[in-house]
Amino acid sequence: MAALNWQKSSYSSESVNCVYLAAAADRSIKLRESDDPDVVITTTPDKLRALLHGIKRGEFDHLTR
């Protein structure tokens, strides 16, 4: 397995709660959090795009109340 080039979110700054993304050779997207870097979530670019659009539109705001 090739090493992944993890990139930290620009919104994470220097805090400990950082989100990292990496593009894998199979075109999947890998996500992990700095608190538990051994847990990696795998998704597709289309599904990640849909999630981000939903977040921007506020579709998940009810989950934070």
pLDDT tens per residue, range 30-53: 999 988 989 999 999 999 999 999
> In the predicted model, what is the mean pLDDT of residues 21-26?
96
Assign 3-state DSSP to the chain and report helix, strand, coil percentages, each to 5. 25, 25, 50
Cβ contact 36:17 at 8 Å: no
Distance CA(48)–CA(52), nearest Å, equals: 6
Beta strands in 6-61 (DSSP E): 7-8, 19-23, 29-33, 41-43
Distance CA(11)–CA(47), nearest Å, equals: 21
